[in-house]
Chains A and B, each alone.
Chain A
Amino acid sequence: MADLMHALVLQGGQMFLVLVLAPLLMGVVRRIKARLQRRRGADLLQPYYDLWKLLRKEVVPAENASRFYRIAPYVIFAAIWVAAALVPTFASGLMFNWSADLIVIVGLLATARFTLALAGMDVGTSFGGIGASREMMIAVFAEPAMLMVVFTLSMLAHSTQLSAIADYLILQPVGLRISLGLTLVTFTIVLLAENARIPVDNPATHLELTMVHEAMLLEYSGRHLALLEFAAAIKLLLYVSIFICLFFPFGMATGAPAAAAILVGVLLYLLKLGIGGSLLALGESAVAKMRVFRLGEFLGMAFVLGLLAVLLLFVTRGVRG
């Protein structure tokens, strides 16, 4: 009974940790980008204030909005939150980590994306339609690349479970693998594409012909908008967490951990999140946004690199038995 309570507390802690940290990560990224542009930038806590303000505002739906339009933000938020709660962040042996299969997470995110694209088209404005069609185009290229990442890691760790992969990477000597480097690049590109970050989409603009993600949210207001923006923040945290879990899981508490190991895990996780956010801001400041028509090439390259990673791993298998 005490064990169950312990597991529940840890799992619940993880669920709320991602919820609490997500806007902060967003704030850190925005702040660093602002500093790099020699602006002072908004407060680190600004995303929380924004969400709080939006939550208290009235919802003004479009006249022809269907019921689906009202349900969509809740569905999207729920799917992304569940996915984020499952990913091992500070410990790999949490209660529901067994269900954190990479393919399940890809599926949850695909559900959220599908719902968002439908909601974008629901009101029938041209911006929503453009955003939805571009989002689906990006998804068509990004998802196969993501699956290549999944294949490579599951071939390496003999499992598609995130916690098993993290355990494998922590406990087994993996050695120098070019495949891991290639999947790192592939996953980085997928991360940028899925979170509407700079070479693919610009998260800071509104009312531009190039926008993708913001175009679908254009009609939303009040608590619906708050939920969708919150979901976007959690999604960024989720991807950075998967990145940490797959490529830098070191220091994560494994098995049935002691309190000290968990504390170390949490602190290291926060540190890694900070580094990840800073790198993201740096990268975004260094490159320019790409034309929409070049996205196919960019994401196609990610796919080919992923495929190459699988191939090279296959070779290593073949050669070393």
Chain B
Amino acid sequence: MNLALDIAHLLAGGLVVISFVLLYQTRLVSLLDSYVAHAVILGCAVGWQAISQHEPALYVTALLALVVKAGVIPLALRRIVRKLNIHREVDQVVSVGLTMLAGTGLTALSVLVMLPVTIHESSIAREDLMFALAVVLLGLLMMTTRRNAVSEIVGFMSLENGLVLAATGAKGMPLVVEISVVLSILIAIFVIATFLFHIREQFETMDVQALDRFRGDLHG
């Protein structure tokens, strides 16, 4: 058995599984926890690629994933969630079962699309590309099935994790491009997040007050 291939398979497959966990989680705080797991597995997958491809540049990408994505961003998002007082909120638009089934369909789709296209590549690259496409599609699915801005940002970031996985699986991407892409996406997420939340904060407070009046009538 090819151990390098097996571990790469395990980590990339694990990323897809955590994407499904993200789809299953409807509570915001648990969603952020699951996202941390997503980022940690991405970091491990990239790190393993660095070891097996003997590419020291990839260590930087792995470190970025571990520090920024598994550390800084979730912490910041959690603070925002707590500040907005929506940490108990349940976000659900389409039923979980349907979403999961759609997700399985998308995973099957990415298998069917990627395997014939990449027939001349090495097995590691083929599997990585296929799993990466699945993660990207699942991220898109998450963004379309959620209503809450936090969940949508988590969906977007899981999508971006899929892109990073694809980029590291394919050889020959220059380090500078990679780092700058990753960094600019991270910064973009920060900007989008704070921007969204400042807007939301303003409307939310008004909204909640308006809702509270009606809530008493409905349940009282």
Residues of A within 8 A of B (CB): 173-179, 181-182, 296-297, 300-301, 304-305, 307-308, 311-312, 314-316, 318-320
Residue contact A178 to B100, C-beta cutoff 8 Å: no
Min CB gap B47→A, angstroms: 16
Residue contact A304 to B104, C-beta cutoff 8 Å: yes
The interface residues of chain A lying within 8 Å CB-to-CB of B16 are 308, 312
Residue contact B115 to A300, C-beta cutoff 8 Å: no
Interface of B is mostly: helix
Min CB gap A181→B, angstroms: 8
Is B218 interfacial (CB 8 A cutoff)? no
Min CB gap A102→B, angstroms: 22
Is B30 interfacial (CB 8 A cutoff)? no
| CB-CB nearest in chain A for B24 | A301
Residue contact A311 to B104, C-beta cutoff 8 Å: yes
Min CB gap B72→A, angstroms: 28
Choose among B100, B111, B115, B123 the residue that contacts A301 (Cβ–Cβ < 8 A). B100
Residue contact B13 to A312, C-beta cutoff 8 Å: yes
What count of chain B residues pass the 8 Å CB interface test?
28
The answer for the CA separation of A305 and B54 in the assembled complex, in Å, is 33
Residues of B within 8 A of A (CB): 1-3, 5-7, 9-10, 13-14, 16-17, 20, 24, 96-97, 100-101, 103-104, 107-108, 111, 115, 123, 126-127, 130
Residue contact B24 to A182, C-beta cutoff 8 Å: no
Residue contact B97 to A316, C-beta cutoff 8 Å: no
Residue contact B9 to A316, C-beta cutoff 8 Å: yes
The interface residues of chain A lying within 8 Å CB-to-CB of B97 are 296-297, 300
Q: A178-B9, A178-B10, A319-B127 are in contact. Are A311 and B108 (CB under 8 A)?
A: yes
The answer for the CA separation of A320 and B115 in the assembled complex, in Å, is 11
The answer for the CA separation of A315 and B5 in the assembled complex, in Å, is 13
Choose among A173, A178, A300, A315 the residue that contacts B14 (Cβ–Cβ < 8 A). A178
The interface residues of chain A lying within 8 Å CB-to-CB of B107 are 308, 311
The answer for the CA separation of A173 and B3 in the assembled complex, in Å, is 11
The interface residues of chain B lying within 8 Å CB-to-CB of A300 are 96-97, 100
The interface residues of chain B lying within 8 Å CB-to-CB of A308 are 16-17, 20, 104, 107
| CB-CB nearest in chain B for A179 | B13
The answer for the CA separation of A311 and B127 in the assembled complex, in Å, is 12
Residue contact A175 to B20, C-beta cutoff 8 Å: no
Residue contact B17 to A315, C-beta cutoff 8 Å: no
Min CB gap A205→B, angstroms: 27
The answer for the CA separation of A314 and B134 in the assembled complex, in Å, is 15
The 9 closest A-B pairs by CB, nearest first: A178-B13, A175-B1, A176-B6, A300-B97, A304-B100, A175-B6, A319-B123, A176-B10, A318-B115
